[in-house]
Amino acid sequence: MSLPPAPGGHPLVSVQLRSGVYADSVRLMQVSRRIAALDGVTDVLVAMATPLNLELAAGMGLAPDGGASPEQLLIAVRADDAETLAAAVAAVDAALAERERSTGAATAIPQRTVGAGLAELSPEVPALAIVSVPGSYAAVEAADAIAAGRSVLVFSDGVPVEQEVALKRAASAAGVLVMGPDCGTAIVSGVALGFANVVRPGPVGLVAASGTGAQQISCLLDMAGVGVSHVLGVGGRDLSEAVGGLATLDALAALDADPSTERVLLVSKPPSPSVEVTVRAAADDLSVPVRSAALSPETPDLTAAVEALLRDMGLDVPVWPSRPGPAEAAVPGAALKGLFSGGTLADEAMLLASPALGGIRSNIPLRPELGLGTDLSASGHVVVDFGDDALTRGRAHPMIDPTLRLEAIAKLAASGEPAVLLLDVVLGHGADPDPAGSLAPAITAARETAGNLPVVVSLVGTEGDPQGWSRQADALAAAGAAVFASNAAATRYALDLLGAPA
């Protein structure tokens, strides 16, 4: 057989047949590829000497002389020089002798979807899903949970309302609950999901369309020695006309069937009138007594709702914990400046203060004409909710990241406008591990700058919270703030300082 002349030299060829050696074709192709990659090696065929492979070898000019049988191993190499050729043939032997190294352990494959994650759990284990992916994808993940027969808490906001309705209808049909979207707070059988406080177990179940409202109520109950069975969030839109209270109705039914729940408190902003009728009718059909703590101009006070519940239960209403702070003179004519992280707490403050103060400007105004511009500043009475969606886009919630509010406090102090500053601080799981750590110095600095700036804080939390109510209260009081466990009490104290008692 004549070989084509190689440019610049005479290639050398080694063609061997070995008997008694077998390796499968995949292994041999791997060996061929490795040897072909060596410098100076131009052609390689390491293969069992089947007719097909002999034909390939012939095509490469590497056919063995004489007869070959399919049981034989053909090792055919062409290289630029004798040294490379010998090294290549030796490398074939080495490669054939090598053992494949493998750990034997499968790489763990991460679950990419809620469905895949839930599929890993035994159906007997109680389980739920938490979805906090971007809102445009949240319904897809939540739908997995419903399909798996599991309830789901959707923390994400920005979920289109028609997707919320579709999810809640599917959940209702499947006998599970969709908490949310935009639900930040729940406690299920003692497990705190999202922003929630460490409260004792007990007989009161909460259904909450409002996260910080549920936190305020569960904390006050805890301070009164009353525990909660579950806190079921339903999302801020659940009681709107569009959603029709779908999750509220399911949550009420679930608590009614729950042996550990003896009383239910429904926490929300004012529901749409028709939904309120539906929910009221459903609640009246349940065997568990349901009390409403819906905030409205007529019922502006979450603390009062807790006190009413305690009286329902035949319990004494305690003196709610507070730290009076320094004795301060009233500042008649000053403006109320409420800088809040909790939307429901801001609402409650406005509902309580408006009758005494008149219109309060806000980014979540009680009436549209009271709206604030994008710079959030106005003279006179102002309440800002830093937890509003428009202010949390691209940054963490103010319960985690206090930056914006700390800036606003410094700005207020520097403005020279006579004011009483009303703040909320929410403790518990998920929240800033030490809010007083940054807020107390900011209060001290603001009071120094402004000269006369009374600061009132509603501190929502419990002693059991990771931050500890008393530790935080003491640190804030030491900075010159008056601290109240009740947001309503804090608001009333601020009104007193304004010389405009509620």
Partner 1 sequence: MNLLSGPPAVVAAGVDVFSDALRVQGADVHDVDWRPPAFGDPADLAALALDPRRAAANRVAVERVLAAGSVLVDVRPAREVLGLQERTLLHSGPPLTWEAASGPMRGALVGACLFEGWADDVEEAEILLSTGAIALDPCHHHAAVGPMAGVTSPSMWMWCVEDPGTGRRAYCNLNEGLGKVLRMGAFNPEVQTRLRWMRDVLGPVLSQAVRGSIDAGDDPLDVKAVLAQMLQMGDEGHNRNRAGSLMALRELSPAIVALQESSGWSSADLAAVLRFIGGNEHFFLNLGMPTAKLAMDAARDVPGSTMVTVMSRNGTEFGIRTAGTGDRWFTGPAQTPVGLYLGNFGPDDANPDIGDSAIMETYGIGGFAMAAAPAIVRFVGGTVPDALATTERMYQLTLAENPAMAIPIMGFRGSPTGIDVLKVARTGWLPQINTGMAGRIAGTGQVGAGLVQPPRECFEQALAALAEEIRAA
Chain positions 172 to 211 lying near partner 1, rule: CB under 8 A, are 175-177, 188-194
Instruction: Return the structure tokens found at 81.
Output: 């020089």
Contact status: 390 vs partner 1 (CB under 8 A): no
Antiparallel, parallel or unpaired: β 322-323 and 481-484: antiparallel
**Nearest-5° angle of CA 334, CA 335, CA 341?**
140
Q: Between 44 and 476, name the residue whose CB sits nearer to partner 1.
A: 44
Contact status: 161 vs partner 1 (CB under 8 A): no
Distance CA 444, CA 458 (A): 17
What lies within 8 Å, CB to CB, of 180 at 6+ separation is 131, 152, 153, 154, 155, 156, 159, 233, 234, 235
Q: Between 155 and 493, name the residue whose CB sits nearer to partner 1.
A: 155
**Sole binder of partner 1 in the list 134, 225, 324, 358 (CB under 8 A):** 134
Burial of 100 (0-12, 13-18, 19+ CB in 10 A): exposed
**Sole binder of partner 1 in the list 3, 21, 52, 242 (CB under 8 A):** 52
First to last CA, the chain: 110
**Sole binder of partner 1 in the list 49, 75, 157, 163 (CB under 8 A):** 163
Distance CA 136, CA 394 (A): 15
Contact status: 118 vs partner 1 (CB under 8 A): yes
Query: Strands of 41-48's sheet, edge to edge?
Result: 12-18, 73-79, 41-48
Question: Closest approach of Cβ 368 to partner 1, in Å?
Answer: 30
Question: Closest approach of Cβ 241 to partner 1, in Å?
Answer: 20
Q: Between 19 and 136, name the residue whose CB sits nearer to partner 1.
A: 136
Contact status: 252 vs partner 1 (CB under 8 A): no
Q: Between 194 and 343, name the residue whose CB sits nearer to partner 1.
A: 194
Contact status: 82 vs partner 1 (CB under 8 A): no
Count of positions (residues) in the chain: 502
Contact status: 393 vs partner 1 (CB under 8 A): no
Contact status: 254 vs partner 1 (CB under 8 A): yes
Longest dimension (CA), the chain: 115
Contact status: 403 vs partner 1 (CB under 8 A): no
Contact status: 96 vs partner 1 (CB under 8 A): no
What string marks each residue from 452 to 481 as x (binds partner 1 by CB under 8 A) or -? --------------x---------------
What lies within 8 Å, CB to CB, of 212 at 6+ separation is 185, 195, 341, 342, 343, 344, 345, 387, 424, 426, 460
Residue 366 has phi, psi (to 5 degrees) of -70, -30
Contact status: 110 vs partner 1 (CB under 8 A): yes
Contact between 429 and 466 under an 8 Å Cβ cutoff? The reply is yes
**Sole binder of partner 1 in the list 21, 98, 160, 389 (CB under 8 A):** 160
Question: Closest approach of Cβ 157 to partner 1, in Å?
Answer: 12
Q: Between 192 and 294, name the residue whose CB sits nearer to partner 1.
A: 192
**Sole binder of partner 1 in the list 12, 80, 91, 132 (CB under 8 A):** 132
Task: Kindly state the helix (H) or strand (E) to which residue 84 belongs, with its residue range.
Answer: helix 82-97
Question: Closest approach of Cβ 23 to partner 1, in Å?
Answer: 11
Q: Between 401 and 496, name the residue whose CB sits nearer to partner 1.
A: 401
Site residues (CB under 8 A) for partner 1, limited to 21-40:
24, 26-27, 29-30, 33, 36
Q: Between 90 and 121, name the residue whose CB sits nearer to partner 1.
A: 121
Q: Between 100 and 298, name the residue whose CB sits nearer to partner 1.
A: 100
Instruction: Return the structure tokens found at 9.
Output: 């030299």
Q: Assign 369 to helix, strand or coil.
A: helix
Antiparallel, parallel or unpaired: β 455-460 and 481-484: parallel
Q: State how far the alpha carbon of 271 is from the alpha carbons of 104, 416, 421, 469, in Å.
A: 59, 40, 30, 32
